[in-house]
Amino acid sequence: QAKAEEKKKAEAKARSKREPGRVDSYA
C-alpha cells in the first residue's frame, strides 16, 4: 500500500506542476 501512496503523491505533484492553481488541493 505504501507504493500506491507514493504513486498518488507523485501524480499529485505532476498535476500541480501542470495546474499551479490546484497545488493547495494536494498540500
Q: What is the largest CA-CA distance in the chain?
A: 29
CA distance 15 to 1: 21
pLDDT of residue 6: 93
pLDDT of residue 14: 79
Q: What are the boundaries of each domain within the chain? A: 1-27
DSSP 11: H
User: For cell 498518488, what's the residue?
Assistant: 8
DSSP 3: H
- Residues 1-27: tens digit of each pLDDT: 789 999 988 888 877 676 666 656 554
CA distance 2 to 25: 21
The answer to whether 23 and 16 have CB atoms below 8 angstroms apart is yes
